[in-house]
Amino acid sequence: MNNWFTVKVKYTKQLDNGALKRVSEPYLLAAMTFTDAEARIYEELGAVIRGEFAVTGIARTEIHDIFAYDDADVWYKAKVKYENFDADSEKAKKVTQNFLVSAHSVKEAYERLQESLKGLMVDFEIPSIIVSPIVEIFPFQENLDREISRRPIEEVEEEEDEETTGPGAVFSASGSDLDDEDEDDQEEGDSEVEDDFEEENED
């Protein structure tokens, strides 16, 4: 089963004004292991980035679903909370899940997330939405998986070459049902990636 990994890549980027700058950018991709994630990022970016690039960090990232809209390329990370009834303990369990949605603003991200989750059969709240530093997302690709001998991700719900309503595509990997006690650890991991990203771009 595949998971989402954030892979940080350092390379020399040509800016809009023609200047060259050394940057470090995070990408999100579906992979089975850390080694698999590194192999796949080289496959994905090898033909896109001119010159050499280096992988400077790989971290497992808990994302439940990704809602991709074709008209926006900025990603927003949203935290969604709801209560799930546990039949064994006969108690309601608080669940926190992270989602990504592409949008032009926080307001639009909130509206698109509400629309995408309207089929959820429980009441939920969205306590936070922040801009994600993720540059691009690489979901499961069956052909690429076959080339580098990986098993297909079972839970991806991407449908290619079909017209859809709402998001252009929905990407899923293994779920991220986090208890409240795990919430702080997850937030610390996310902030570390974002802080590193910002510091390295200031150089």
pLDDT for residue 187 is more than 70: no
Question: Mean pLDDT across the stretch 68-84?
Answer: 93
Adjacency order of strands within the sheet including 53-60: 53-60, 3-14, 20-31, 136-138
pLDDT over 60 (residue 146)? no
**Residue 158 pLDDT greater than 80, yes or no:** no
124-143 tens-digit pLDDT: 999 999 999 999 999 876 65
SS3 194: helix
- Domain segments of the chain as ranges: 3-198
Whether 55 and 7 have beta carbons less than 8 Å apart is answered as yes
CA–CA gap between residue 47 and residue 55 (Å, rounded) = 15
C-alpha separations of 20 from 4, 125, 133, 136, 171 in Å: 30, 43, 20, 20, 33
- Six token digits for residue 34: 């850390």
At 89 the pLDDT is 74
| pLDDT grade for 167, boundaries at 50, 70 and 90 | low
Grade residue 56 by pLDDT with cuts at 50, 70 and 90: very high
The predicted pLDDT at position 176 comes to 40
Rounded Cα distance, 169 and 155, in Å: 14
pTM of the model: 0.70
pLDDT of amino acid 26: 97
The token pair that represents 152 in the structure block: 């297909």
The per-residue pLDDT for 193 is 38
pLDDT tens per residue across span 77-127: 999 998 887 777 778 888 999 999 999 999 999 999 999 998 888 889 999
Contact call for residues 172 and 155 (beta carbons, < 8 A): yes
In 3D space, the residue among 105, 28, 118 whose CA is nearest the CA of residue 71 turns out to be: 105
* pLDDT score of 160 more than 60: no
How far apart are the C-alpha atoms of 118 and 3, rounded to whole Å? 25
Instruction: Give yes or no for residue 149 having a pLDDT over 50.
Output: no
Stronger pLDDT, 180 or 171, i.e. the higher one: 171
How far CA 150 is from CA of 8, 173, 191, in Å, comes to 22, 15, 30
